[in-house]
Structure 1
Amino acid sequence: METTPKSIGTFESYDGTSIYYETHGQGEPLVLIYGIACPINHWHYQIEYFSRNYQVIAFDLRGHHKSTPIADMSQLTLEALCKDIAGLLEHLNIKSAHFAGHSFGAPILLNLYSMHPEIIRSMTFINGFARNPIKGMFGLEVIEPFFYFVKGQYENQPDLWNTLWKVAIDNPLAMYAAALAGGFNLRVTHFKDIEVYCRGVARMNLKVFIAFFEELMKFDGEPILEKIEVPVLVISGEKDAVTPIRFQYHLKEKIKNSEFVLVPYGSHCTQLDFPDYTNLKIEKFLQQGVRED
């Protein structure tokens, strides 16, 4: 149950794409960035908690949910996503903000920092990574070759594969498979949150998903890590098989102003599994003091 009213809106980004956003509460701005194909719902516990003392801003990435259609389908890049975020802050007349990124939200944040470090007060990474997490995922070397197989098939028969995508994702078996693969902890995550996620994924244009997934695999944020000057909090789910702990440990090792929190039994969606613990750790981090405007 939300404790503060929300304001919703859209703004036209640099290429004419309409970006949907929500603001909740008042105070220092905190921008939440979800991962590929995720919904704003992934942040509902954080929105409820932090909107009591912060201006919480959540939005849909271009090509996702209410930020569709994309005006220029060639603009499916990390740079485009970062331009959207910078444009969103400008639209809201915000000079700088705290940011939290989940999963692919971490590479987005790293790239945003390389483009606009002046707009970032602090960064929280939840189950994030700085380089391709797909190689060796689940201890196997099949995910990347399978991705390029699907991409090739999609390019030959896009209508067929969009249909197959919807059927494969929007069903109970896929929802349980997502949890068992380490995406969620079924013992503590409400199944409704998993349903919301899978149904949102199923409604996405597969071309958008493929383009951003390829951006994920190509991204190398290593040169950015040692240049970060703002405080950073790294949160890692102990049972995350999607982006295992070693990726979060690496962030901690390379970023000099960073803290590390391991969440026991946390899955890839730690913020949904254990929201109270996650929120308290983020709140403590934010209260320690960060860069002034």
Structure 2
Amino acid sequence: MAFVRAKDGTKLYYEEVGEGAPLIFVHEFGGDLRSWEPQLRHFSRRYRCIAYNARGYSPSDVPEDIASYSQELAAQDVRDVMDGLSIDKAHVVGLSMGGFATLHFGLNFPERALSLVVAGAGYGAEKHYEDYFRSVSLEVADQFEKQGSAAFSKTYSMAASRIAFLLKDPRGWQEFQRHLGEHSARGSAMTMRGVQTRRPSIYDLESRLRALAAPMLVIVGDEDDHCLQPGIFLKRTVPACGLLVMPKAGHTLNLEEPGQFNQAIDDFLATVAQGRWLPRDPRAMPSEIMKTS
């Protein structure tokens, strides 16, 4: 088993496959590095692929101190994985919680990002849902500890934005639910309390996002309601940002629609490599929609 050590001493388990430009995958709250299997098999044909388990997800360390869990540390862990593997710059792909980590990595360490894929990120960002998001997140944390992961995974995996996955791919959804049930209940609870409930809203980062120069692709499902508006906000705010809305798709995009997901990222990475994923041309701004002179 392979580990890197974060700057605060936390051990992070990772797996690596392939050769080429580094491509790092950052998993969602309900997943772990196993969630990226369709992507590791696809992209390792042309890229050096690395996926790791976040802190709180064994066999990575599961710290007992809430101070060891935060959005800031989640972004730093991406950097520390790169440092541990002697990677100067990388493409980074994140889903949901991992999408937030990817976004904050790009903001905090822009010189280390070749490109950023931010998928299914936005839940809790909408200002009018902030209080609800924080309260229900704390309840989720309590239920992981009260019921244990094996039991509570049966409830958590039935959230509204997971149903599209269940209907399309029952076997894939069952595997997702089984993996979730194997997570550390303590680690899941601490992650929910320390990272999810305390992370800043995307909307509060507007000035920093407008200065983010890295090429970015945002992917959301059209049935992942609380990620749609944040996705549009990112498109309108980050200079070199593209937005893909996948039809009839929920939250677990990389597993629910692996073919579309992989193809979109393939095209994005190829365009970035050609230096053609550029900020929006001023001539294409909304104010120029009807030319009169």
TM-score exceeds 0.5: yes
Letter of the 1:208 counterpart? T
Where do 1:183-222 residues align within 5 Å?
183-185=162-164, 186-189=166-169, 190-201=172-183, 203-205=185-187, 206-216=189-199, 220-222=204-206
Quote the Cα distance in structure 2 between the aligned partners of 1:148 and 1:163. Answer: 12
SS of the residue 1:19 aligns to: strand
> Where do 5+ consecutive residues of structure 2 fail to align?
276-293
Offset of residue 235 of structure 1: 1.0
Between 279-288 and 207-216, the greater mean CA deviation after superposition:
207-216
1:115/1:54 Cα in 2 relative to 1: closer, same or farther (>3 Å)? Answer: same
Residues 233-281 of structure 1: per-residue CA shift (max 9 Å, x gap): 111111113x331111111111111112111111111111110111011
Quote the Cα distance in structure 1 between the aligned partners of 2:49 and 2:163. Answer: 24
Offset of residue 98 of structure 1: 0.3
Residues 63-115 of structure 1: per-residue CA shift (max 9 Å, x gap): 12221232854221122222222121111111100011111222212221222
1:174/1:232 Cα in 2 relative to 1: closer, same or farther (>3 Å)? Answer: closer
Quote the Cα distance in structure 2 between the aligned partners of 1:174 and 1:121. Answer: 34
| Aligned mate of 1:257, from 223, 240, 252 | 240
TM-score (norm 1): 0.81
Are the equivalent residues in 2 in contact too, given 1:60–1:67 (CA < 8 A)? yes
Between 42-51 and 194-203, the greater mean CA deviation after superposition:
194-203
Letter of the 2:217 counterpart? L
Partner of residue 157, structure 1: none
SS of the residue 2:24 aligns to: strand
Letter of the 2:145 counterpart? N
Quote the Cα distance in structure 1 between the aligned partners of 2:133 and 2:190. Answer: 18
Letter of the 1:113 counterpart? G
Quote the Cα distance in structure 2 between the aligned partners of 1:134 and 1:201. Answer: 30
1:165/1:252 Cα in 2 relative to 1: closer, same or farther (>3 Å)? Answer: same
Is residue 2:215 matched to residue 1:231? yes
1:133/1:165 Cα in 2 relative to 1: closer, same or farther (>3 Å)? Answer: farther
Residues 191-239 of structure 1: per-residue CA shift (max 9 Å, x gap): 3333234314563432332212212356643232111112111111111
Identity score, percent: 22
1:224/1:196 Cα in 2 relative to 1: closer, same or farther (>3 Å)? Answer: farther
Quote the Cα distance in structure 1 between the aligned partners of 2:207 and 2:126. Answer: 17
Quote the Cα distance in structure 1 between the aligned partners of 2:254 and 2:144. Answer: 32
Offset of residue 167 of structure 1: 6.2
1:286/1:217 Cα in 2 relative to 1: closer, same or farther (>3 Å)? Answer: same
Offset of residue 144 of structure 1: 3.4
Between 13-22 and 218-227, the greater mean CA deviation after superposition:
218-227
Letter of the 1:226 counterpart? R
TM-score (norm 2): 0.81
Offset of residue 147 of structure 1: 4.1
1:182/1:202 Cα in 2 relative to 1: closer, same or farther (>3 Å)? Answer: farther
Partner of residue 289, structure 1: 272
Are the equivalent residues in 1 in contact too, given 2:224–2:251 (CA < 8 A)? yes
Q: Of Structure 1 and Structure 2, which has the larger fraction of its residues in helix?
A: 2
SS of the residue 2:214 aligns to: coil
1:148/1:21 Cα in 2 relative to 1: closer, same or farther (>3 Å)? Answer: closer
Is residue 2:161 matched to residue 1:182? yes
How many aligned positions are there? Answer: 270
Is residue 2:90 matched to residue 1:110? no
Offset of residue 35 of structure 1: 2.0
Quote the Cα distance in structure 1 between the aligned partners of 2:144 and 2:89. Answer: 41
Are the equivalent residues in 2 in contact too, given 1:123–1:231 (CA < 8 A)? yes
Are the equivalent residues in 2 in contact too, given 1:124–1:232 (CA < 8 A)? yes
**CA-atom RMSD in angstroms:** 2.7
1:166/1:270 Cα in 2 relative to 1: closer, same or farther (>3 Å)? Answer: closer
SS of the residue 2:25 aligns to: strand
Is residue 2:23 matched to residue 1:30? yes
Where do 1:144-163 residues align within 5 Å?
144-147=134-137, 162-163=145-146
SS of the residue 2:69 aligns to: coil
Is residue 2:57 matched to residue 1:50? no
1:164/1:101 Cα in 2 relative to 1: closer, same or farther (>3 Å)? Answer: same
Is residue 2:49 matched to residue 1:70? no
Quote the Cα distance in structure 1 between the aligned partners of 2:198 and 2:67. Answer: 13
Quote the Cα distance in structure 1 between the aligned partners of 2:61 and 2:121. Answer: 25
